[in-house]
Structure 1
Amino acid sequence: MKTAARSFNLSRTLLSLSAGILFLSACSQEEVKSTAQLAVPNVITQALSFNNSYQHQQRYTGIVRSADTTGVGFELAGKLSDIIVDSGDAVVKGQTLAMLNTQLLQAEQQQLKASLLQTKADLDLAQSNLARSIELKKQQYVSEQQFDETQQQVASLQANQKRLEASLYATELKLEKSVLVAPFDGTISKRHHNLGEVIALGSPVFTLIGTSQQQAYIGVPNTVAQTLRTNQQVNILIGKTVYQGIVAGISAEIDAVTRTVQLRINLPSNKQVINGEIAYLEYQQQITDAGYWVPISSLTDGVRGLWNVFVVTKSDDGLARIERRDVDILYTTEQQAYINGAINKDDVIVTQGLHKLVVGQQVKPTSAAVARSL
């Protein structure tokens, strides 16, 4: 009887243990299944959009200069005796800027005036003698030789008078050019000489910048220059401001150093820009090349210098998984890249969080439309 009771209790214990094991096994499978479902990450995706071409934004560098910018100097050498203006001063056309010492020229002027007066007196006497000689010749009291000599003396004195008058005019012109005046309205940018210096012929005393028309001088490749025309409107970036410029001229030759063609672009007259500022020509060019625009964040480094994107594809088991594709970057902006390579127009790429993913990993696209297309 006791043996039967023990057998019954043992059977009950075994049944209880089996039930518990089955229960724990079922719970474990449900937990694993739940964990597996939670492990599939959501990914932000984007369907590729095919393009036949793209806009290539380029910038070419140049400099701002006034249309009237020149080194102002005397037309003759001399000692600088007076400087009336200095750097930063605004001047108007015809205003006196500086003067040379003119003592020697003034002495030369006085000497020439005296010689001219003497020559005029001698000429008056010679002309009087000639007049008398004409009357005497009529009465045959003067020989032909005397008459010719008198005529020759008058002609010689007249020629000498003209020579002295020309020399006096040249001296007065030198005196006039010893005063340096502004050739146009502008601002003195720099003074190159000091008071008392002996300056050479043609040496600039000041750099004068005109206030009339500011222009940008920018070099561009010949292929770009051929697409532009005179009076065409272009965008010019100076500092942080974009100005509407007008192409005033296109050079007819290529610079031997930079291998570029220089553009001369008029800037708006009501805009305050400083001579020497850096100017940029913003130029858009249509490039015919098939590809796709993608966010910069969708690109990752590949092997051997290549770039990769992660494409979401449907595997044989019907699940969405990650696949790596090699691509070439044709052009980039601050936010996007234009690419082509081992991708198709129907592909769906991951745009963010690529560092958290590996090839072959199961993922769940966040876009329902994209998910249905897989």
Structure 2
Amino acid sequence: MNIMNNEKSLNKATSLWFKATLFVSMSTLLCLPAQANNNDQDKGHLVSVDVVKKEQVNPSIWLPGNVISRKNAPISAEQTGQLLWLEEVGVDVEKGDVIARIDARHLTLQLARQKAQVKKAQADVDYLRVQKQRIAKLTEKNNSAVSEYEKVTKDLIVAENDVVDLSIAVEQTLLAIEKTTIVAPFTGNISQRFAHEGELITLGRPLVQLVDTQNLDIKVAAPLTIAPFLKRNATVMVKWQNQLITLPIRTWSQAGEQSSRTFDVRLAASGLNILSGTPVTVSLPKQQAKEALLVPRDALVLRENETYVLTVDKELQAQKVSVLVGQGVDDWVSVMGNLSVNDSVVVRGGERLQSGQKVRFNNALVAKL
């Protein structure tokens, strides 16, 4: 009995020792990646860098602008009547799609009456044509006065003109009925409604606002002094929602506003996923080309209140440098700030990098520097 108890105690002790050993081994393995990560962080954040260079660029001025639609129109009623149906706000419509319907019953009754009048006038024409032929035969035999023939001829001409006049009235009524169904004159989006179903709509009453959301421009009120430096299709920088994009100059006004000394400049913004009315900031050239410092576009960190780059000093520490952005040249951007030619700037890995933190690069980047 004692021998069995001793064996059970020994087996239990062995099991506990095995579990403890396994726990310690697993803990050690789990700690290794964390230690490795800590070692990597001690070495610094992994980044990619490029160097500042100097080139000829046009000095620029940053101006506020607004996104506008090239087609933005209130669609009005062309007939009077009760509004039966109106398209909802926010709906995309194609050119020719129905966006409103007006009651046309009174026009339908008017059309029926006019068609009856056309038939009546046509019956008079048919009668007078037969009468003219009969009198013409009598006149040839001297059995009827010439004046009688002339009177019938005149009555026939009047009757034929009455048919033409009444037929035109029928066409006008058909056009009026067609206009009780309002269709979109161009592809766009319903941005506003100015009426509601059941209202009595008068001629010329605006019903909806239709906006073309695809063909967009950015409108800038620019000072007249920069007009000589603009070039059609030249690309300029646009700042929008912490993004920096390039867009071409599409056109500009050839006359300025006397009171503000400004003129309209339009940038082509078609295809951008942006709402009409969105505010942006645009960089336009203001002087002849001169030398300026350029950094890669990816080096810019855009914030709501500032734009900056992160440089790397000799101690491999990141340093924040605020800059003013100028013109873009391919994948580079001219800047003004506390920078020098051949300064290293972070182009990758700087999203969460703070000023003063250590950085590290791979061997290829070190060799490049």
Q: Same fold (TM over 0.5)?
A: yes
CA distance in 2, matches of 1:112, 1:71: 33
CA shift in 2, pair 1:287/1:251, >3 Å: closer
RMSD over aligned Cα, in angstroms?
2.7
**Counterpart of 1:263?**
265
Show the counterpart of 1:165: 167
Does the 8 Å CA contact 1:235/1:244 hold for their aligned counterparts?
yes
Aligned residue number for residue 243 of structure 1 = 245
CA contact (8 A) 1:74 1:203 kept: yes
Q: Secondary structure at the match of 2:280?
A: strand
CA apart distance, 1:79: 2.5
1:68 paired with 2:76, answer: no
Which one-letter code corresponds to 2:127 in the other structure? L
* SS, match of residue 124 in structure 1: helix
Q: 1:297-326 deviations in whole A, cap 9, x for unaligned?
A: xxxxxxxxxxxxxxxxxxxxxxxxxxxxxx
Greater Cα radius of gyration, structure 1 or 2: 1
> Retained in 2: the 8 A contact 1:234–1:247?
yes
> In structure 2, how many angstroms separate the alpha carbons of the residues matched to 1:104 and 1:76?
11
Distance 1:333 1:216, change over 3 A: closer
- Structure 1 residue runs without a partner (length 5+): 1-52, 290-331, 339-374
Cross-structure match for 2:180? 178
Query: Which residue is 2:314 aligned to?
Result: none
2:123 aligned to which of 86, 100, 121:
121
Q: Relative to structure 1, is the Cα distance of residues 55 and 150 closer, same or farther in structure 2, using a 3 angstrom cutoff? A: closer
C-alpha distance 256-136 of structure 1, shift in aligned 2 (>3 A):
same
Q: Does 2:237 match 1:220?
A: no
Structure 1 match to 2:149: 147
With over 3 angstroms needed to count, the CA separation of the structure-2 counterparts of 1:284 and 1:225, relative to structure 1, is: closer
2: CA distance between counterparts of 1:92 and 1:128?
54
* Residues 24-44 of structure 1, C-alpha deviations (whole Å, 9 max, x = no match): xxxxxxxxxxxxxxxxxxxxx
Counterparts of residues 50-89 of structure 1 (less than 5 Å): 57-83=60-86, 85-89=87-91
Query: What are the equivalent positions in structure 2 for 1:299-314 lying under 5 Å apart?
Result: none
Which residue identity lines up with residue 171 of structure 2 in the other structure? Y
Counterpart residue number, 2:284: 283
Structure 1 residue 225: Cα displacement = 2.2
Cα distance, 1:242 vs. partner? 2.5
Q: Secondary structure at the match of 2:229?
A: coil
Give the partner amino acid of 1:250: W
- Percent identity of equivalent pairs: 21
| Kept after mapping to 2: 8 A contact 1:68/1:212 | no
Instruction: Note closer, same or farther for the CA distance 1:192–1:134 as it changes in structure 2 (3 Å cut).
Output: same
> Partner letter of residue 278 of structure 1?
P
Q: Which amino acid aligns with 2:177?
A: L
- Cα deviation for residue 115 of structure 1 reads 0.5
Corresponding letter in the other structure for 1:99: R
Tell me what 1:16 maps to.
Answer: none
Is 1:67–1:210's contact at 8 Å kept on the other side of the alignment?
yes
CA offset at residue 209 of structure 1? Answer: 1.4
Secondary structure in 1 aligned to 2:122?
helix
| CA displacement, residues 17-72 of structure 1 (integer Å, 9 cap, x when unaligned) | xxxxxxxxxxxxxxxxxxxxxxxxxxxxxxxxxxxx99754211121112222111
Structure-2-length-normalised TM-score: 0.61
Q: Structure 2: state its 5+ residue gaps.
A: 1-55, 291-322, 326-335, 340-369
Closer/same/farther in 2, CA of residues 163 and 199 from structure 1, 3 Å limit: same
- Taking structure 1 as the reference length, the TM-score comes to 0.60
Q: Kindly tell me: are residues 268 and 153 of structure 1, through their superposed partners in 2, closer, same or farther at Cα, counting changes over 3 Å?
A: closer
Contact kept in structure 1, 2:214 and 2:270, CA below 8 Å: no
Compute the displacement of 1:337 (Å).
8.0
One-letter identity of the residue aligned with 1:197: E
Report deviation, 1:184: 1.7
SS of equivalent to 1:171: helix
Cα pair 1:112 1:167 within 8 Å, conserved: yes
* CA distance in structure 2 between the partners assigned to 1:89 and 1:57 by the alignment: 40
| Contact 1:191/1:205, CA 8 A, preserved across alignment | yes
Find the aligned partners of 1:54 and 1:234 in 2 and give their Cα distance.
12
Q: Cα distance 1:78–1:256, how it changes in 2: closer, same or farther (>3 A)?
A: farther
CA contact (8 A) 1:245 1:268 kept: no
Alignment partners' CA distance in 2, 1:149 and 1:288: 87
* Maintained 8 Å contact 1:75/1:202: yes
Q: What are the superposed Cα offsets for residues 204-243 of structure 1, whole Å, 9 maximum, x if unpaired?
A: 2111111431111111001112210222222222222223
Instruction: Give the counterpart letter for 1:140 in structure 2.
Output: N
